[in-house]
Amino acid sequence: MGFLENRFEDNIITAKVDQLLSWARSTSAWYFQFGLACCAIEMMATAASRHDLERIGMMPRSSPRQADVMIVAGTVTLKMASRVKLLYDQMADPKYVISMGSCANSGGPYSRQGYHVLKGVDQIIPVDVYIPGCPPRPESLIEGLLKLQEKIRHERPLTKNK
């Protein structure tokens, strides 16, 4: 920033509004606190003090209206699928979905034999990041969340799509 160096008073940052927006969104992606099966235990462990999701700006919200990211953590049964869809529809834009674990990705162990499990949550809602594992370790979940942040950071919400 050679041209701008030493030209301003204290505490001034210059950026494009577009970049600023996507930067702000990526670093405060609050996730929706809801779990469906054993993956939710790993999600809780990730949010707890040892791994501490709040250090990357993510904190749990108990209402879909306040959340930006939905972590589908666990087996999506057919009975639950319509509820998951409803919760997703209740979230305000911009909204992102993380599919956590084998069950949410593809049905997992229930993909061939199960009569009651949706074969992947992407059948009903669009998914941004898939995290493999059964269940994924907290490290994998954090990796997936960082990937999501990267994705959000590269978005340009105000720029016209060409």
Interface with other proteins (CB under 8 A): 78-79, 81-82, 106, 111-112, 115-116, 118-120, 123-124
Q: How far is the CB of 7 from other proteins (least distance, A)?
A: 55
Q: How far is the CB of 108 from other proteins (least distance, A)?
A: 12
Q: Which residue from 78, 92, 86 is spatially nearest to 34, judged by alpha carbons? A: 86
Nearer to other proteins, 122 or 143 (CB): 122
Q: How far is the CB of 125 from other proteins (least distance, A)?
A: 11
Nearer to other proteins, 76 or 152 (CB): 76
Q: How far is the CB of 132 from other proteins (least distance, A)?
A: 15
Return d(Cα 110, Cα 97) in angstroms, integer: 21
Nearer to other proteins, 117 or 145 (CB): 117
Enter the DSSP assignment of 55: G
Q: Which residues contact 53 (CB under 8 A, 6 or more apart)?
A: 31, 46, 47, 59, 60, 142, 145
Nearer to other proteins, 19 or 111 (CB): 111
Return d(Cα 50, Cα 45) in angstroms, integer: 8
72 strand-pairing partners? 99
